[in-house]
A and B are shown apart, each in its own frame.
Chain A
Amino acid sequence: MVKITFVDAAGQSRTVDAEEGSTVMEAAIRNDVPGIEAECGGACACATCHVYVDDAFMEKLPKAEPMEEDMLDFAYDVRPTSRLSCQIRVSAAIDGLVVHTPEQQG
């Protein structure tokens, strides 16, 4: 199991266990983490699982695919650290990952 911490817009943090091979979005939904809607269920089709990746982990993650970049156009307050959590694959390499959920999902 890999630990992932979600920090909401108010600063409250929740750490959950995520299975390797699943996605960060799935870890949020399975553990009822607020701030992640995932309206489309992980099809990279809605931009409602938008997160800001903590600076310390940006380089450990593979770059967003063009499809993810396109979907990020539909998110709000997109920053250089913005990602869609349904496209971040959980692996041992990102154990301890910290992501911040935005004030509002699309």
Chain B
Amino acid sequence: MTDIIKTDAVIVGAGPVGLFAVFELGLLDIKAHLIDILPKPGGQCAELYPEKPIYDIPAFPMVTGQGLVDNLMKQIEPFNPQFHYNEMVDSLEVLGTPQAPLFRLKTAGGDVFECKVVLIAAGGGSFQPKKPPVAGIEEFESKSVFYAVRKMETFRGKRVLIVGGGDSALDWTLNLAPIAERVTLMHRRDDFRAAPHSVNAMRELVAAGKMDLVIGQMTGLKGADGELSAVSVKGSDGAAFDIACDRMMPFFGLTMKLGPIADWGLNLHENLVPVDTEKFETNVPGVFAVGDINTYPGKLKLILSGFHEVALAAQKANRYIYPDKKVVFQYTTSSSSLQKKLGVA
């Protein structure tokens, strides 16, 4: 039995808007846990464009995606947020009432949270592995086609085909080469994005005859009952051939999918969550949606809009969590009590 993690607020998504929500909630003494499917904070900013400049963050003429995330992490440090990475929230169950909300969230990994408010700051949804669009791949998934390695042992003695040219593809090629019967790495060109030392190590294994490297692209799958027997390939010269294999792992990067949020009983409009513009609350009292994942008349998918949204959502969250507390609006510039919370007073 897993211990239930009890907290005031759970923030689903640790992108820039989810991170700033910690700040706005924190000023109101609301403790937050953040859950994100990525292994690090920052969401799209960190995953898609860490080095790219952003020019429309107020008071930052230019900041990189990673720079923004680093600053947000520093800004929310006083509130000691708890991060749960590599986890996707699977289900949301309503336990409380509209006046006194209480929720139970379960992650795919089995963690259970109980909280009074939920802020969905999930951006474009959760990052999930991109599937190669070859016909019938679903039939093989989790049986002989895998997008991640859970247990290396399951590859022992198998003929494994790994497809891709980045770090994931190269790392698993090197890790599985000693375990598998034979590892074949396939990539569309003889040039790799992966770290040069892994590429060199792979080329040494190829030169020593311990694995194969194929330049080409996947065109089809062969096999029956979920068990793969071969992958059809178009070579770099256009020639078609098959690679015999029992296991295949495609590494084509990540894409964003709404995922389980669709099943949480929230109203949806074209994969976005409609909210009001006073509290940024969904149709379920106590569940807020902020940032790119919400929609309302005039919505702009800007980080700065998300920052505004969490400030207002936090005010309503405050009324749920501290119904009897007198609401006093304060500025961080002058309020000694806020400064104390920030650790600067």
Contacts and interface: CB of A to CB of B under 8 A. Distances in A.
A40 B49 contact: yes
A43 B54 CA distance: 11
B132 A76 contact: yes
B253 interface: yes
A73 B133 contact: no
Contact of A106 (B49, B165, B252): B252
A73 B217 contact: no
Among A46, A74, A106, chain B packs the most CB atoms within 10 A around the CB of A74
B188 A73 contact: yes
Contact of B52 (A39, A43, A46, A74): A43
Interface string A40-74: 10010111000000000000000000000110111
Nearest to B132: A76
Contact of B191 (A47, A69, A74, A78): A69
B133 A78 contact: no
A69 B256 CA distance: 22
Interface string B278-315: 00000000000000000000000000000000000000
Contact of A73 (B44, B49, B166): B166
A73 B187 contact: yes
B48 A73 contact: no
Given A69-B191, A73-B188, 14 more contacts: A40-B44, A40-B48, A43-B48, A43-B49, A46-B48, A69-B189, A70-B193, A72-B188, A73-B187, A74-B252, A76-B132, A78-B188, A104-B133, A106-B252
Interface of A is mostly: loop
Interface size class of A (residues with CB under 8 A): 10 to 19
Contact of B48 (A45, A76, A77): A45
Interface of B: 44, 48-49, 52, 124, 130, 132-133, 164-166, 187-189, 191, 193, 217, 252-253, 255-256
Contacts of B255: 39, 46, 106
B165 A73 contact: yes
Contacts of A73: 164-166, 187-189, 193, 252-253
B189 to A, nearest CB: 7
A78 B238 CA distance: 11
B256 A74 contact: no
Nearest to B44: A40
Nearest to B124: A39
Among A43, A46, A73, A76, chain B packs the most CB atoms within 10 A around the CB of A73
Contacts of A47: 253
Contacts of B49: 40, 43, 45
Interface in A12-53: 39-40, 43, 45-47
A47 B193 CA distance: 15
B69 to A, nearest CB: 15
A78 B187 CA distance: 11
Interface in A71-95: 72-74, 76-78
Nearest to A70: B193
Contacts of B187: 73
A95 to B, nearest CB: 29
